[in-house]
């Protein structure tokens, strides 16, 4: 039996979860199940400062930078407006250190929603703190260039979104591969030492029924299996 490649996700802090008596560290069940169904064994890691990522990622084959709360705008040189929520500096620092490490090492990496924002800011880009019309619970069409590199079967895909922030100034080494009709950056390729791509939308929302979204997760798993 072929061993499932192990995909690391940095957990997200939560102040409450019904199954816990205290604050927790969580990953989206839909995202974990989507990766499992794509053939991976996903594992949630604790965000911790000054991690030795070479040591912590031993035995892992890929990384998924997941969605979550907002990045502290100070990290891209701005003061936060009233829309910014769930900022956690420890979470930010752990995400940034992990991102820099995996992209430098060429570990196959998929960045989703907040994860794509993290990559952009790490590379010197900025964010729109609050979109004029946000994309919470929003579904739209996205035309993706180089779509096969993402694992998409089609050039035009249906994207399920949940975000109020978006890419503004693009960071270095990043290439826009897809936009929504309103101009929002929805997909990008990431110059790195290995396979690395980012999407603004949430593939886990519809992976069970959409071959493009399941294909994206499967492509990460395929790259991690090499």
Range of the domain at 169: 6-225
**Is 113 labeled as catalytic in the residue annotation?**
yes
| pLDDT confidence band for 88 (50 / 70 / 90) | very high
**Is 204 labeled as catalytic in the residue annotation?**
yes
Please tell me the predicted confidence (pLDDT) of residue 89: 97
Name the active-site residue from 97, 177, 186, 204.
204
Q: What is the CATH number of the domain that holds 114?
A: 3.40.50.880
Name the active-site residue from 147, 177, 202, 219.
202
Closest to 113 in 3D by CA, of 39, 31, 57, 183: 31
Distance from chain centroid for Cα 101: 15
**Is 202 labeled as catalytic in the residue annotation?**
yes
Name the active-site residue from 113, 117, 163, 186.
113
Residue 126 lies in a domain: yes
Q: Residues 91-132: pLDDT tens digits?
A: 999 999 999 999 999 999 999 999 999 999 999 999 999 999
Residue 1 lies in a domain: no
Distance from chain centroid for Cα 43: 15
When divided into structural domains, the chain yields a total of: 1
Token pair 């979109």 in the structure block, residue: 131
Is residue 63 helix, strand or coil? strand
| H helix or E strand, kind and range, residue 177 | strand 174-179
């Amino acid at each position: 039996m072929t061993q499932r490649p192990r995909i690391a996700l940095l957990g997200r802090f939560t102040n409450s979860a019904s199954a816990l008596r205290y604050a927790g560290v969580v990953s989206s069940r839909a995202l974990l199940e989507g990766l499992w169904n794509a053939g991976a064994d996903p594992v949630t890691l604790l965000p911790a400062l000054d991690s030795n990522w070479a040591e912590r990622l031993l035995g892992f084959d890929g990384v998924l930078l997941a969605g979550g709360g907002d990045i502290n705008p100070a990290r891209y040189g701005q003061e936060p407006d009233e829309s910014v929520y769930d900022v956690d500096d420890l979470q930010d620092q752990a995400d940034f250190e992990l991102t820099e490490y995996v992209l430098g090492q060429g570990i196959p990496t998929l960045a989703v929603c907040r994860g794509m924002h993290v990559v952009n800011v790490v590379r010197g880009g900025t964010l729109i703190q609050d979109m004029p019309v946000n994309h919470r619970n929003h579904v739209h069409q996205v035309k993706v260039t180089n779509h096969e590199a993402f694992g998409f079967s089609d050039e035009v895909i249906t994207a399920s979104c949940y975000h109020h922030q978006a890419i503004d100034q693009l960071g270095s080494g990043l290439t826009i591969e897809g936009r929504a009709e309103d101009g929002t950056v929805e997909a990008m390729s990431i110059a790195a030492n290995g396979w690395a791509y980012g999407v603004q939308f949430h593939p886990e929302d519809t992976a069970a029924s959409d071959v493009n979204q399941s294909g994206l997760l499967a492509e990460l798993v395929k790259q991690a299996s090499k």
